[in-house]
Amino acid sequence: MFDFLDGYDVLGAFWTTVQLTLLSAVGSLVWGTLLAAMRVGPVPLMRGFGTAYVNIVRNIPLTVIILFSSLGLYQTLNITLAAKDTDAINFRLAVLGLIVYTSAFVCEAIRSGINTVPVGQAEAARAIGLSFSQVLFLVVLPQAFRAAVGPLTNVLIALTKNTTVAAAIGVAEAALLMKDMVEKEAQLLLISAIIAFGFCCLTLPTGLILGWVGKKVAVKR
Amino acid sequence: MTSVLYDAQGPRAKRRNILYTAFFVVALAAVLWWVYASLDEKHQLDWALWKPFFNGSEAYTTYIWPGLENTLKAAALSMVIALPLGAVLGIARLSDHMWVRVPATVVVEFFRAIPVLVLMIFGNELYSQYTDVSSDDRPLYAVVTGLVLYNASVLAEIVRAGILALPKGQSEAAMAIGMRKNQVMRVILLPQAVTTMLPAIVSQLVVIVKDTALGGAVLTFPELLASANTMSGYYGANTIASFTVVAVIFVVINFSLTSFASWLEGRLRRGKKSTGAVLGVDETVNIPGHAGTGTAA
């Protein structure tokens, strides 16, 4: 029944999906936190930059960003991100595109976490003479992150699903494999079921586990 | 909240902020200069590449408008089909009968767990193998199918959350005057929930518009992004220019939709006629499978 799977590297494709997800998740968490810090900070120019970045990037389709990173950055401007062969270049460009896009949503998730921290926390921190960065990084952000686990989980699940967009520039992940397989093999329903099952295995446990973690770490108020 | 994070600034803080600003300006200028230099080096700023978008309307009438038309058509079709489906699924998830509730929950959770692109590829192949939809129409059918399957389950969650957001007193009062469950839902809850979830539905439209671009990149659906590709071929490899124009169009459409949704939300929150229960714009992303983690911004 599963003979048609010979010659296709299903696990390898999903491994690429996982790699894309994890690398982009780490990158967008860092850049998204920086953006959030800019957006709530006291420097007007940085606030403006953060707001503009989020509003522009959130409204461009991820597909446009990823396709631009290949056609615009690589093929027109010859930016290769220090990779040698085409596969590696496309992979790195896809990660770059995913980071650029996802960090806007990470920023908003963290900001919504910051909004759950009661005003008294920041006021008390200021009253004992902490500076802005001390208030933010020692008092507010640690509490905000605990409240942001839920929204961040949703961003992570969306990111996992968004990695399929990398298929548009030929990164050999699960959706590209599926497209290849359904065009060559006859078992459409079976192939789709396998790919769907793979994504369920990635997204549903993430939601359940991190949902449990989110409840566990949330500050009880 | 934001202004509460820091004190009114004294002389030292002001000096420090000026320093930060200067540092940031330098960094930003360096990045912009680098972008400018690399564009210039590859002659991407030559007027010839940008001219089609500023001189004459040929680029717009031949490429951009037909693409935009397809984008909007696919988005509108998906929304119109997904909305009733989502309403049915959402109400089914609230049913008292387990044999209705459980299948609806499974369907919603399943389609929310799978990428839209996978659903689109599945739809494309399904139509090509089992139906006689012509190969010209197939990409549109596939894109709409994928978007409907995914967004119906997201809208189901929005509908469910919208109904749950209404004050409990509404359904209690309706039951107290002797209405049946079906009447409570149809006459009391749904009409109020529609206004409650309008902002969330409008911002879901943004997601749909953005996802139509997948069809252009993977399934040869001739929408706005695909027309950028065709244009850059026709106007002598002006990839950067074409993509910039297309991105600006997407931002304008989606930003106006988002602003409209926020305006609607503000209006509904201030309104005196309603119960004041509103499902906010930012709650769309935050509707979790597991309750209690959504935090409105």
Reading the block at residue A183, the tokens are 């065009």
For the cut 50, the answer to whether the pLDDT of residue A176 exceeds it is: yes
Answer for the pair B108, B95: CB distance below 8 angstroms, yes or no: no
Whole-angstrom Cα distance, residue A144 to residue A137? 10
pLDDT band at residue B274, thresholds of 50, 70 and 90? low
Q: Which of B1, B24, B293 sits opposite A45 (nearest CB)?
A: B24
pLDDT at A95: 95
Q: pLDDT of B197-221, one tens digit each?
A: 999 999 899 999 999 999 988 888 9
Minimum CA–CA partner of A214 in chain B: B293
For the cut 60, the answer to whether the pLDDT of residue A2 exceeds it is: yes
* Residue B34 amino acid letter: W
Number of folded domains that form chain A = 1
Domain ranges, ordered by start, for chain B:
53-286
Q: pLDDT of A84-134, one tens digit each?
A: 888 899 999 999 999 999 999 999 999 989 988 888 898 899 899 888 888
pLDDT band at residue B273, thresholds of 50, 70 and 90? low
Answer for the pair B225, B208: CB distance below 8 angstroms, yes or no: no
Q: Choose the mutation target among B2, B38, B68, B117 for the interface with A, i.e. most A CBs under 10 Å.
A: B117
Calculate mean pLDDT across residues A24-47.
Answer: 92
pLDDT at B3: 61
Average pLDDT, chain B: 86
**Confidence check on the interface: ipTM exceeds 0.95, yes or no:** no
For the cut 80, the answer to whether the pLDDT of residue A4 exceeds it is: no
Whole-angstrom Cα distance, residue B112 to residue B167? 27
Residue A21 lies in domain? 3-217
Contact call for A167 and B210, based on CB within 8 A? no
Q: pLDDT of B52-110, one tens digit each?
A: 888 878 888 888 999 999 999 999 999 999 999 999 999 999 999 999 999 999 999 99
pLDDT at B296: 27
Answer for the pair B113, B153: CB distance below 8 angstroms, yes or no: no
Q: Which of B243, B288, B290 sits opposite A64 (nearest CB)?
A: B243
Q: Which of B121, B209, B297 sits opposite A115 (nearest CB)?
A: B297
Whole-angstrom Cα distance, residue A97 to residue A68? 9
Question: What is the CATH classification number for the domain harbouring A172?
Answer: 1.10.3720.10
For the cut 60, the answer to whether the pLDDT of residue B290 exceeds it is: no
For the cut 50, the answer to whether the pLDDT of residue A52 exceeds it is: yes
Contact call for B28 and A105, based on CB within 8 A? no
Q: Which of B118, B218, B290 sits opposite A196 (nearest CB)?
A: B118
Lowest mean pLDDT among A44-48, A186-190, B272-276: B272-276
- Residues of chain A in contact with residue B251, where contact means CB-CB under 8 angstroms, are 56, 59-60
The DSSP code for A220 is: P
- Given CATH 3.30.930.10, say whether it is the number of domain B53-286: no
The alpha helices in chain B, defined as continuous H runs, are: 11-41, 47-54, 58-59, 65-93, 98-113, 116-130, 138-164, 168-176, 181-183, 190-218, 224-234, 239-270, 283-286
Lowest mean pLDDT among B7-21, B227-241, B263-277: B263-277
- Residues of chain B in contact with residue A72, where contact means CB-CB under 8 angstroms, are 239-240, 243
Question: How many CB pairs below 8 A link A and B?
Answer: 209
Answer for the pair B240, B44: CB distance below 8 angstroms, yes or no: yes
For the cut 50, the answer to whether the pLDDT of residue A169 exceeds it is: yes
Lowest mean pLDDT among A205-214, B6-15, B253-262: B6-15
pLDDT at B294: 29
Contact call for A178 and B2, based on CB within 8 A? no
